[in-house]
Copies of this chain bind each other. A is one copy, B any other.
Amino acid sequence: MTYAHAIDETLIALADPTRRAILQRLRTGAMPVGILAEGLPVSRPAVSQHLRILTDAGLLIVTPQGNRRLYGLAPAGMNGLRAYLDDLWGDALAAFAQAAHDLSKDDTHDT
């Protein structure tokens, strides 16, 4: 899986409100699918499908425990996305600062 593909999976995973609700729930700690599904407005298999997408995107870690699987947030799960956003928007911020700087010099020059 390439870096760009990983970012694609992460952003697609985060673009769904149900999956974001799952991530919010998991902030309190890892929990099994059945518990997780209880507090969500969709069926248990739907939660399972979303967990699959989140796990494939590298956002969750799974801990098997007998016939249960505990899902928790992967600590480094968001690193790639953060790096991508910094890279994409870093230039915009720098260009903005440069433009403001140039405008200031122009004004001074014209005066």
Contact = CB atoms under 8 A, between A and B. Distances in A.
Nearest to A82: B85
A48 interface: no
A8 B14 CA distance: 9
Interface in A1-42: 8, 11-12, 14-15, 17, 20, 23-24, 27, 29
A103 interface: no
A21 B59 CA distance: 23
A31 B88 CA distance: 17
B81 A24 contact: no
Nearest to A85: B78
Residue among A17, A20, A23, A89 with the most chain B CB within 10 A? A89
A92 B11 contact: no
A46 interface: no
